[in-house]
């Protein structure tokens, strides 16, 4: 973590895509921020849907993590994730995916998310079911010091 609540370069996916994860809002929500480059577009030069889903998945999983760890570093697994695409984005646009818990208990969390353009345009919405990784069940991946995903 570079600054309190800001997670950068933690996983291979985060390093590859270049997003920043902010878990320091103090509101139980996590935010995944990214400014689009040509590496994030489809063949039409617009935001690739897979990048949108990755941003939402990361923000939503981190929101789940905040429910058990104030640093947002406890690993959570995605059980299901449904995404609805409403608008597009292009190179240079700054996007923020925000995740928040809507329900659940100790074993699973129901989490919602939104991907929003810096101008306020809603790009995509998501809902999912996430669960915490049991203690001692995290296996470090090559290049990931602590194996979080």
- Supply the pLDDT for residue 149: 43
Phi, then psi, of 103 in degrees rounded to 5: 175, -170
pLDDT over 50 (residue 115):
yes
CATH code for the domain of 97: 3.10.129.10
**Range with the poorest average pLDDT among 12-16, 110-114, 115-119:** 12-16
More confident residue, 10 or 110: 110
Q: How many structural domains are present in the chain?
A: 1
51 domain-assigned = yes
67 domain-assigned = yes
* pLDDT, the chain, mean: 91
94 domain-assigned = yes
pLDDT over 50 (residue 111):
yes
Once rounded to an integer, what is the mean pLDDT over residues 121-138? 90
Once rounded to an integer, what is the mean pLDDT over residues 64-81? 93
Give which of 57, 104, 108 is closest to 83, Cα–Cα.
57
- Sign for the pseudo-dihedral over CA of 70, 73, 78, 84: positive
109 domain-assigned = yes
Percentage, residues of the chain above pLDDT 90: 81
53 domain-assigned = yes
- Give the up-direction half-sphere exposure of residue 90: CA atoms within 13 A in the CB hemisphere: 2
Nearest-angstrom CA–CA distance, 30 and 99: 5
Q: What is the separation of C-alpha 62 from the centre of its chain, rounded to a whole number of angstroms?
A: 6
Residues 6 or more apart in contact with residue 111 via CB below 8 angstroms: 60, 61, 63, 64, 99, 100, 101, 102, 104, 127, 128, 129, 130
By residue range, what is the domain housing residue 106? 6-132
pTM of structure: 0.89
């Amino acid at each position: 973590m570079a600054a309190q609540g800001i997670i950068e370069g933690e996983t291979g996916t985060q390093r590859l895509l270049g997003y920043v994860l902010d878990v320091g809002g103090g509101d139980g929500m996590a935010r995944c921020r990214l400014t689009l480059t040509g590496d994030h577009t489809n063949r039409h030069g617009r935001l690739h849907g897979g990048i949108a889903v990755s941003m939402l998945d990361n923000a939503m999983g981190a929101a789940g993590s905040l429910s058990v760890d104030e640093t947002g570093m406890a690993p959570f697994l995605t059980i299901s994730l449904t995404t609805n695409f409403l608008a597009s984005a292009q190179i240079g646009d700054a996007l923020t995916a925000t995740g928040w818990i809507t329900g659940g208990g100790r074993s699973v969390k129901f989490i919602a998310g939104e991907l929003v353009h810096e101008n306020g345009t809603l790009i995509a919405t998501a809902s999912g079911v996430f669960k915490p990784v049991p203690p001692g069940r995290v296996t470090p991946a090559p290049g990931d010091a602590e194996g979080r995903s």
